[in-house]
Amino acid sequence: MPIARDVVAMIEVEIKARASTDALADVLKRRGAEFEKTVVQSDTYYNAPHRDFAETDEAVRIREQDGRAYLTYKGKKIDAQSKTRKEVEVAVENKARMEDILLSLGFRKTLDVIKTRSIYHYGGVEICLDRIEGLGEFVELESMAENASEIPQKRDGLIALMRELGVEGGQIRESYLEMLMAKKFFI
């Protein structure tokens, strides 16, 4: 019985900022953005036995969403102006068994990140309005690049769209995991 299927590997170009999700949902509706769905994502993060992901800027997680589970590896950020990084994700048939494999290999649970995410599509961009338990409300704009040469154009387009949507304040390059860890341990 196979454990995994549907392997995906791309460069995720992403920007994030704090935002009122209700206000931004209204803006997106007025602009004709396509609402996809609202989901609850429960992410359990793990640290590796052979290196500290907090130091290497990597992440491994198991995400539960809509009764399914996914194992994801996120590589180091590769762009100084965004959260762009390589991402590899695979569906797993059994979350408990996948977690048992990771723990048996010496990985350690780090933290859980629980989010309610409303997903919209606008102009070829995925827009996520996130409510993160213990952190608050955020917006993420995401586009996928097939290679590094596409990153600047994709990133600049996301930044321009963020401005068009009226999102004020600076971009946040830290992941929700990093932000929750800093809050939990007062880093």
Question: What is the DSSP code string of 106-137?
Answer: T-EEEEEEEEEEEEEEETTEEEEEEEETTTEE
SS3 content of the chain, % helix, strand, coil (to 5): 25, 45, 25
CB neighbour class for 149 (10 Å; exposed up to 12, middle 13-18, buried from 19): exposed
Q: Which helix (H) or strand (E) holds 75?
A: strand 68-77
- Listed in sequence order, the residues at least 6 apart from 126 whose beta carbon sits closer than 8 Å to its beta carbon are 119, 120, 141, 142, 143
Active-site annotation holder among 45, 46, 120, 176: 45
CB 164 within 8 A of CB 150: no
User: Does the annotation count 73 as an active-site position?
Assistant: no
Give me the active site residues, please: 45
